[in-house]
Amino acid sequence: MKKRKKILKTTTKKGKQSSDIYPILIGTVSISNSGFGFFKVSEESEFASTWLDREVFIPAKFINNAMSGDTVKIQVLPPRPGTDDAEKGPAGEIIEIVKRKHETIVAELLPGNKVRPLNRKLNAEITLAKGKGDAKNGDWAEIKLIDMPNSNELIGKVIKSIGKAGTIQGDLDAVCAEFELMPPYTEEENIAASEIVPREIERKDFTDIFTATIDPIDAKDFDDALSIKLAPDGKSAELGIHISDVAAFITPKSDFDRKAYERAFTAYLPGRTLPMLPKNLTKAISLQENQISRTHSVIVNIDIETAEVLSFYRCHGLIEVNKRLDYDTVQKFLDNPAELPPSWDKELAEKISLLAKITAAIRKKRQKDEDFLDLAIPEVRIICDENSDTISGIVKKEQKPADFIVEECMLMANSLVGNELIEKSIPGLFRIHPMADEEKLAEFAMNIHEIFGFYPGDLSTRENCNKFIKNLPDNEVKPIILNMFLRSLPRASYSEKAELHFGLGKLKYVHFTSPIRRYTDLVVHQQLWNFDTNQRLKPKNSFAKLATYLSAKEENNDNAYFNASDRLKLRYLEEQLQQRASNYYSGIVSKINNNSISVEIGEVGIIGMIRFEDLPGYFERINNSTMQSVRNGKTIKIGSTLKLRLYEIDFARGIAYFKIAG
């Protein structure tokens, strides 16, 4: 007898389907950290044809125990009388949870019979139906969710203990479990990978041309290198963009191809790296200094002054890296060319100067021809050592000319390979980034006007977007506006079709340059290997499902990184709180919530909270962007800079609470 699929039900009354205007729909829900959600209808749902291109807003009070990714049934709600609901777009209420995306969650055990989920999008507390087993209060544990009919709360039971909350290792273990990241390869797998014999293919010898790698100082793998050779006329140069030929080692449908597919990407967490490929293999195929390496290369004959591509070809090659360089050292040289860094000679300095000149010309030409979005926002990174369970500090990373040398070369290689795939009808994976939805852009423009007092104008073209970005005031508010703008844009993803990449201004763009750490790049390498050796190609229809899968895996990895980074930054704040009497920070108001104020703490790179009850005096919320004191009329607005004092950290929920200093 076939077992019936269980449907999880909430206690919310089911609405009646009055018409196709306010129907009952089935699809998936995505929930924000603030508790509200957005619903996307599935193609199989009734009325899907009229709702596929529309998002339905789900207020927090109508989430009804759903979690991000769940398949749910919603009732579309009519506008409330006397409100502007009709202008804001459709809203709905979740009336059934048809299928959970995750049957288990990770949570911290609390005294009593409660746990607090690591995922901030879930309820603040979950009740345990049974005991805690071997787990103890203060542990991270895996919790299985239990369907309790006629219950309006989430119920769970402990499956296993993961680790102690409040330690780097325990917190990282919890993040890995919550986001279902694959564990490191076993020693047996590493040994097996080191025994792989690479496939042979005709290769061009580039070992007599100056070649260098430029990476972060702490890089573990090296999948790209650059070579440069000046033409006799001095007007053009041969630019070599050499990528590790991973397809020579990882054949389609092999054991390690399957394992790489399961991981999809190397997961980078603060203090922990979970590689897509075994470490022994990664070391063998990395482009190491003073070592002959196999490459898949894009060779470009380029005009030095104009950056015009005179000709190019793609081939499999052999290189020898003459020098391993890091971004910081290269940048110091570019800032002061008269003073050579230690171990540099005149030839190396000349080659790097030529690379910098060419890539600056490429970037200038790309800005003119493609009008890419210039959204340079500094990244604040937490530095920690999992082995010693210590946090070293926080660094702010801003893009500089040394970064552009590598970035421009990689973008060029990805574009040239993307064009070749189209011209030769080779199926592959393309990187796409759709234009923002007109409604979201209009909402963004309205919010900017309401909050900051100016109107961004028409943002339907990259040209207008760049004018808007360029004219932003160069102060502490600029990152807030840029982040708001980024949130109005869709996320970049993968597709079997060559479509617009709005941010880059490209139409035929692939990811080719990082096959050691991205399966998306590896599968393109494998496809080109088969093309170059006259073997059967993977058909185009197989790439649609692959694109959807890899896009989801990439987003999950990114969410794991942000979650781990934010959590460890809170540990850093706790250490600072314990080590110094003066504990003040500068914060910029970024959002007025229903019961709290969000503040961006730039020096740490987190968003903190000020609860309304912690404001000095009695403040009232005037509108979406302003609080006003009843006593003296003082206001707190989005964009206001406040001097803050940290006073409480909720590690289970991942929130730092601040008070206004003084």
CATH of the domain at 29: 2.40.50.140
Do 270 and 348 fall within a single domain?
Answer: yes
Instruction: Please check whether residue 250 lies inside any domain of the structure.
Output: yes
User: Does residue 13 surpass a pLDDT of 70?
Assistant: no
How many residues can be counted in the chain? 662
Residues 34-65, buried b or exposed e (16+ Cβ, 10 A)? ebbbebebeeebebeeebeeebbbbeeebbbb
Residues 402 and 318 grouped into a single domain: yes
For residue 378, tell me if it sits in a domain: yes
* Whether residues 526 and 607 fall in one domain: no
Average pLDDT over residues 243-257: 97
Q: CA angle at residue 265 from 262 to 267, to 5 degrees?
A: 110
Which CATH number do you get for residue 141? 2.40.50
DSSP β-ladder status, 596-601 and 430-432: unpaired
Which tokens in the block code for residue 315?
A: 């081939």
CB atoms within 10 A of CB 187: 11
Most trustworthy range by pLDDT among 74-88, 242-256, 473-487 = 242-256
Cβ count near 321 (within 10 Å): 24
| Helix, strand, or coil (residue 231) | coil
Residue 19 lies in a domain: yes
Return the DSSP state at 50: H
**Domain membership flag for residue 387:** yes
Q: Which two tokens stand for residue 623?
A: 């509108």
At 319 the pLDDT is 97
The more confidently predicted of residues 137 and 205 is: 205
Which pLDDT belongs to residue 640? 87
Q: Residue 387: pLDDT band by 50, 70, 90 thresholds?
A: confident
Q: Residue 582's pLDDT is what?
A: 63
Q: Which of 50, 67, 99 is the last residue before a domain boundary?
A: 99
Point out the least confidently predicted range of 12-26, 84-98, 402-416, 487-501.
12-26
Q: Cβ(499)–Cβ(433) under 8 Å?
A: no
Please name which of 81, 25, 84, 83 lies closest in space to residue 58, comparing C-alpha atoms.
25
Domain end position, chosen among 56, 80, 99? 99
Mean pLDDT of all residues in 151-180: 88
| 203 — pLDDT class (breaks 50, 70, 90) | very high
> What six digits make up the tokens of 265?
């990407």
pLDDT at residue 324 greater than cutoff 60: yes
| Residue 257 banded pLDDT, cuts 50, 70, 90 | very high
Segment 438-488, tens digit of pLDDT: 888 888 888 888 778 788 888 888 899 999 998 888 877 888 888 889 988
pLDDT of residue 79: 84
The tens digit of pLDDT for each residue in 521-572 reads 999 999 999 999 999 999 999 999 999 999 999 999 999 999 999 989 998 8
- Whether residue 448 is found in the same domain as residue 507: no
Domain of 626? Answer: 580-660
Shared domain for 396 and 453, answered yes or no, is no
Q: Give the residue with greater pLDDT, 563 vs 3.
A: 563
Asked if residue 207 and residue 331 are part of one domain, the reply reads yes
pLDDT tens readout for residues 621-639: 888 788 888 888 889 988 8
Band of residue 315 on the pLDDT scale cut at 50, 70, 90:
very high
Q: Is the pLDDT of residue 123 over 70?
A: no
* Percentage of residues of the chain with pLDDT beyond 90: 55
Is the Cβ–Cβ distance between 434 and 501 less than 8 Å?
Answer: no
Mention every residue, 6+ apart, whose C-beta is less than 8 A from residue 516.
221, 223, 244, 246, 266, 276, 277, 282, 285, 286
Nearest CA to 266 out of 662, 651, 557 is that of 557
Residue ending a domain, among 42, 72, 99, is 99
On the question of pLDDT at 10 being above 50, the answer is no
Whole-angstrom Cα distance, residue 76 to residue 74?
A: 6
CA 361 to mean position of chain CA atoms? 29
For 567-582, letters b (16+ CB in 10 Å) and e give bbbbbbbbebbeeeee
Predicted pLDDT of residue 581: 52
182 occurs within a structural domain: no
Do 266 and 334 lie in one domain? The reply is yes
Range name among 42-56, 236-250, 295-309 with the lowest pLDDT average: 42-56
Q: What's the CA angle centered on 289, arms 287 and 291, to 5 degrees?
A: 75
Distance of CA 656 to the CA centre of its chain: 22
Report whether pLDDT(397) > 70: yes
Predicted model pTM? 0.88
259 and 195 together in one domain:
yes
Q: Which residue has the higher pLDDT, 211 or 63?
A: 211
Q: Are 403 and 326 in contact (CB under 8 A)?
A: no
Instruction: Answer for the pair 275, 285: CB distance below 8 angstroms, yes or no.
Output: no
Asked if 342 and 288 sit in the same domain, the reply is: yes
pLDDT at site 124: 66
Has residue 569 been placed in a domain?
no
Q: Range with the lowest mean pLDDT among 12-26, 83-97, 161-175, 560-574?
A: 12-26
Number of domains in the chain: 5
The sign of the dihedral angle between the CA atoms of 253, 256, 261, 262 is positive
**What percent of the chain is predicted at pLDDT more than 70?**
94
CB 650 within 8 A of CB 608: no
Quick one: 444 and 584 in the same domain? no
Q: Are residues 350 and 291 in the same domain?
A: yes
Identify whether residues 116 and 196 lie together within a single domain. no
Contact indicator for 382, 568 with CB cutoff of 8 Å: yes
pLDDT in tens, 639-657: 888 999 998 888 767 789 9
Local structure of residue 440 (DSSP, 8 states): H
Average pLDDT, the chain: 89
pLDDT in the model for residue 151: 64
- Whether 173 is in a domain gets the answer no
Expressed in angstroms, the distance from the first to the final Cα of the chain is 70
Radius of gyration from C-alpha coordinates of the chain? 27
- Cα 127 off chain centre by: 32
- Does pLDDT of 167 surpass 90? no
C-alpha to C-alpha distance for 530 and 242, rounded to whole angstroms: 19
DSSP 8-class letter at 62? G
3-state secondary structure of 72: strand
Phi, psi of 291 (to 5 degrees): -140, 140
Residue 246 within any structural domain of the chain: yes
